[in-house]
């Protein structure tokens, strides 16, 4: 768990990679992976042979419960954008995602850093 000043909260990174946040007001922060990445469970229904499938996503068992830190500040879970959107639909506002739409990328399009986070 890591405290992020510009959020005023603690974060736990549940993505499969470290998240690098680069901001003019606080420089570069590296939020290390903490535990296993959360992935949505998926089921598929064939609608037109193998050419069209309906995918239904759901939360896997074992997602963390909402939490507050010992100092009473909220804890945010850093997850993929898709997981954060599904969490919001389920009423969870403690799942946030790196703001990859505004990310700094290398010449091959790989993300180097993000300016912050998004919630849904």
The residue segments making up the domain with residue 13 are 2-118
Q: What is the pTM of this model?
A: 0.88
How many folded domains does the chain comprise?
A: 1
Which helix (H) or strand (E) segment is 112 a member of? strand 111-113
What does each of the 120 residues of the chain score in pLDDT, given as a tens digit? 889 888 889 999 999 999 999 988 878 999 999 989 999 999 999 898 778 999 998 887 778 999 999 999 999 999 999 999 999 998 999 999 999 999 999 999 999 999 999 999
Query: CA angle 2-101-1, nearest 5°?
Result: 10
- Integer angstrom CA distances of residue 117 from 32, 49, 70, 80: 15, 39, 23, 11
- Integer angstrom CA distances of residue 91 from 40, 64, 87, 119, 120: 16, 14, 6, 12, 10
pLDDT number for residue 25: 81
Q: Is the distance from CB of 43 to CB of 53 less than 8 angstroms?
A: no
């Amino acid at each position: 768990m890591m405290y992020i000043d510009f959020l005023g909260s603690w974060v736990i990174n549940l993505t499969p990679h470290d998240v690098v946040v680069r901001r003019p007001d606080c420089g570069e922060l590296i939020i290390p992976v903490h535990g296993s990445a959360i992935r949505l469970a998926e089921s598929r229904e064939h609608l037109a042979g193998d050419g069209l499938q309906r995918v239904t996503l759901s939360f896997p068992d074992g997602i963390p419960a909402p939490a507050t830190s010992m100092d009473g500040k909220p804890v945010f879970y850093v997850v993929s954008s898709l997981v954060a959107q599904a969490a919001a639909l389920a009423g969870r506002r403690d799942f946030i995602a790196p703001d990859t739409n505004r990310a700094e990328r290398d010449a091959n399009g790989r993300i180097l850093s993000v300016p912050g986070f998004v919630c849904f």
